[in-house]
Chains A and B, each alone.
Chain A
Amino acid sequence: MDSSILLALIQDGIVSGAIYALLALALVLVFAVTRTILIPVGEVVSFAALTYANLDNGKPPAVLILLLGLGVAAFLRGAIFSRGRALIQLGVETLIVPGTIAFAATLLAPLQLGVAMNAVIAIAVVAPLCPLLYRLAFAPLAEASVLVLLIAAVGTHLAISGLGLLVFGPEGARGVPFSDAVVQLGPIIFPGQAICVLAATLCVMGGLWAFFRFTLAGAALRATAINRRGARLVGIPTENAGLQAFWLAGLIAAGSGVLIAPLTTVYYDGGFLIGLKGFVAAIVGGLASYPAAALAAILVGIVESFSSFWASAFKEVIVFAGIIPVLLWRSLRHVSVEDEE
């Protein structure tokens, strides 16, 4: 292997690692606030990627039917328990917001307003799936154990990925790159897409940091993450905190999907493996530390790019077996005995 291949592999690894890092952040955020391990994050990624790629043909996104359908289901589910203003709020969030997004997307999609517009449309129609899933699957289980929430998350993943096959079909798609520009720095060549991915990742991380550091809503989310009951006692509506966490996760995951679409051909179920790599990174940080998760994600990306060079058939085997030393390391640091449930 010469140095140009080495550099290309590292660069490749960092780019995909950046996307895993975004997903790891979303996963840590959702776990901290709601104790849910958001397995279906992968479907959000692949749905956004497919939507972005398919917007090229100028048709309204196929995923709209899913958005409206989940919205109606979430409304019916919630309407049993809501009255008065809560019912109106529920109606706005589950029917009117998705309806408006669907309407706008149907109008805008055929106009072919360019990649930036397509990216916005893809994120706007896919991200709201996440909070709708929260209302349907996880909010009713808010008091259940982590394990029950995890099983529910796996069930949701199964259902959503089946729906994905129904909506998108088995064919994969690849998106148009945001930029064809190539920047050359000495011997290293940076494709424009790679720069976009890294820039977007840094923006999201910076934005999240600022959100948690400087805004009241961010502080409320942090408080809920640290102590749910305590947060409720000082008047933070913790159910809303869960919804907000899922909104953020949905936006981040849909954004990652759009970023990844031009890099590789994405299939309806391809996001699952991408999301799972985010998990490997999130677990390194104990599902609690954002910086550790982000660094681990870059490492996962590099391991992946090197193993696809040396043993491409066993790429996934190597990446997921990589969780073993991570768990071993965590297990050796962990001693306490506590009651679960």
Chain B
Amino acid sequence: MKPAIWLALVAATLVLPWLPGLPLFWVSLACQIGISAIIAVGLVVLTGVAGMTSFAQASLMGISAYTTALITTKLGISPWLGLPAAMAVTLVVAFAIGSITLRLSGHYLALGTIAWSVSLYYLYANLDLVGRNDGLTGIPPLSLFGQKLIDIRFSAQIIGLSLIGGMIASLHLLDSRWGRAMRSLRGGAVAAASVGVDLGRARMLAFVFAALMAALAGWLFAHMQRVVNPTSFGLVAGIQYLLMAVMGGAAHLPGALLGATAVVLVNNSLQDWLPFLFGAGVSAETIVFGVALVLILQAAPAGLWPVIAPRLSRSHRVAETALTVQTMPKLGAVALRASGLQRRFGGLVAVADLSFTLYQGELLGLIGPNGAGKSTSFNLLSGADHPDAGRVELAGQDVTGCTPQMMARRGLARSFQHARLVPSLSVIENVALGAHLRGHASPLSAILRRDRDEEAHIYAEAARQLARCGLADLADHNATSLALGQQRIVEIARALAAGPSVLLLDEPAAGLRHGEKQSLAALLRQLRDEGMAILLVEHDMEFVMSLADNLVVMDFGTVIATGKPSDVRRNPAVIEAYLGGVA
């Protein structure tokens, strides 16, 4: 968004609460909405963007609120110093929780947060230090220039500014190299790992960011309410925050505000009306919220925001120059060597014995009939799977057992047989994801926008690789709207954006039209001439025969022939493998 819009929002936040005649009750509702929206913004990053869920945001908020309440009431420290302290404590807790659960599938994190949230609730309610069920009272308000900011209209201003700050921070973070990494967690994790994205760090980043948002909200809550007790931080509160994010549209930042507004207002009017319907003492809003949560998931899984607002395409500043071209290893140097690779699945020997050498500046084709073990070999070479016996060397180093991330760091890039693009990123953003390891900006520098130059170079590089692959005019399209053949080409562009010296391609020509195949062949020849080592697993014989310098032919998991295409074509073993022996 443009700076002018933000300035207008800041001005509105500062002025609106003081409008003459505005009922204070409205201001207090706005404060509730603002605090909730800050938490929901964190959940948008965690749930909507990174595809993980926490029911414990209220508990994290509680940790922060209790921290600042304790140090300001018991130690008499200024409430302003409570913020860094509360954030630091929440950060440590979130980091600890994250390192235990983030490696597991998403639902373990969610289940873990349910258990923690219950556990923490009972801890607050039974610990003398935090006043058990009564909580802590007499928390000092914020003060400025010796003036205590007790008036709720001051609170509204501070909460509003915090919310704007939180949204700007989220937007900046999402529009950065780590933002792309976090987006890839939803449906594109395998692809991101193949270009070297540290998925664990990306998950931790999303989780910690959401926790810090909750911490900010908790600090505001403690000094505005000036009382904290366990009920505000229980599981039901945690579920309500998630409801806000889901209702507004978990993948959209404005949805957080929309969802928070809807939930707080509905909650408020329910509290007025439900006692008439059900009798006092029945907390019937839980029924309404529970049913609403399920109905929204069924009827509008993307939430309300996409229903009322069009999707805005993100624009990117593109620098004049792309990233510096990486120096290729010497022509003819050994790029990739497999020796005696073997892989068994139970009793099935998928790869029995695979050995070959790929040199810089060589285009090597790996072919074989169906079931020959090509895909398994490809996985062994790219680090997606590990051999039971044998060795893989990359540029002379033993990389057997390395993860795809480690392979990417050592200059290997790959494409997938079934294209794996990140669904929530545009075509050019998917390609920019490929350059992840070539950027260095940290999440913090992204939030502060100190990464703009680097980002512009990354986008210039992405644009260059797209143009090279002939897809320049599709740059801003949604990645998954492309034809399957084109999606494979985007994968090649993404692989190239990583600046690799070894390129593994899994059936890149499948699904391409004749003309597209020819331009792909031309591109691959050009890359080879620049010194890149290319391994091509391909079904299309005409394509691979005309293109490859050398061929490795597999059948039943072993190499049955190697050599130039013209020799292999006449090899009796190859002919038998493809056409079948005479019975």
Contact = CB atoms under 8 A, between A and B. Distances in A.
Interface of A: 37, 39, 136-137, 140-141, 144-148, 150-152, 154-163, 165-166, 170, 273, 276, 279-280, 283, 313-314, 316-317, 320-321, 323-324, 327-328, 330-331, 334-335, 337-341
- Which 7 pairs show the lowest CB-CB distances between chains A and B? A159-B290, A155-B293, A158-B290, A162-B287, A320-B119, A162-B286, A313-B126
Contacts of A161: 286, 290
Interface stretch (B105-113, B211-219, B257-265, B495-503): B105-113
Contacts of A147: 51-53, 106-107, 110
A163 B289 CA distance: 12
Nearest to B422: A339
A316 B119 CA distance: 6
Interface centre among B199, B242, B293 (most CB of A within 10 A): B293
B189 interface: yes
Contact of A340 (B189, B282, B286): B189
Given A37-B107, A338-B189, A144 B293 contact: no
Interface in B281-325: 281-294, 297-298, 301
A328 to B, nearest CB: 5
B122 A339 contact: no
B118 A273 contact: yes
B239 A279 contact: no
Contacts of A324: 100, 112
B122 A317 contact: yes
Interface centre among B104, B116, B186, B189 (most CB of A within 10 A): B104
Given A158-B239, A327-B100, A280 B115 contact: yes
Given A317-B123, A340-B105, A157 B190 contact: no
Interface string B81-124: 00000000000000000001101111110111011101110110
A141 B111 contact: no
A287 B420 CA distance: 28
A297 B447 CA distance: 45
B431 interface: no
B107 A150 contact: yes
Contacts of A165: 282-283
A242 B292 CA distance: 23
A276 B118 contact: yes
A316 B122 contact: yes
Given A158-B287, A279-B111, 16 more contacts: A147-B53, A148-B297, A152-B294, A155-B289, A159-B294, A161-B286, A162-B284, A313-B126, A314-B123, A317-B123, A324-B100, A327-B112, A331-B104, A334-B103, A339-B190, A339-B420
B142 interface: no
B236 interface: yes
9 contacts: A154-B114, A156-B294, A158-B239, A158-B290, A159-B288, A166-B278, A166-B287, A323-B116, A340-B105
Contact of B53 (A137, A151, A313): A151
A321 B246 CA distance: 28
Contact of B187 (A151, A331, A339): A339
Interface string B18-31: 00000000000000
A331 B298 CA distance: 31
B188 interface: yes
A144 B489 CA distance: 29
B193 interface: yes
A150 B298 contact: no
B459 interface: no
Contacts of A341: 51, 186-187
A316 B105 CA distance: 25
B54 to A, nearest CB: 11
A316 B193 CA distance: 39
Contacts of A156: 290, 294
A339 B104 CA distance: 12
Contacts of B289: 155, 158-159
Nearest to B101: A327
A270 to B, nearest CB: 13
B55 interface: yes
B126 A148 contact: no
Nearest to B423: A341
B294 A330 contact: no
A326 B404 CA distance: 28
A147 B108 CA distance: 9
A137 B296 CA distance: 11
Interface string B22-58: 0000000000000000000000000000011101000
Interface centre among A158, A317, A338 (most CB of B within 10 A): A158
A151 B246 contact: yes
Contacts of A323: 111-112, 115-116
Contacts of B103: 331, 334-335
A327 B286 CA distance: 30
Given A276-B115, A316-B122, A327-B112, A146 B104 contact: no
Contacts of B112: 323-324, 327
Given A162-B283, A327-B100, A148 B301 contact: yes
A123 to B, nearest CB: 24
A276 B246 CA distance: 24
Contacts of A146: 105-107
Contacts of A162: 282-287, 290
Given A166-B278, A320-B118, A337-B190, A283 B108 contact: yes
Interface string B181-215: 00000111110010000010000000000000000
A333 to B, nearest CB: 10
A155 B118 contact: no
Interface centre among B101, B119, B243, B285 (most CB of A within 10 A): B119
A20 B190 CA distance: 37
Nearest to A35: B107
Contacts of B298: 137, 140-141, 152
Contact of A320 (B116, B193, B292): B116
Nearest to B292: A155
B165 to A, nearest CB: 28
A286 B112 CA distance: 13
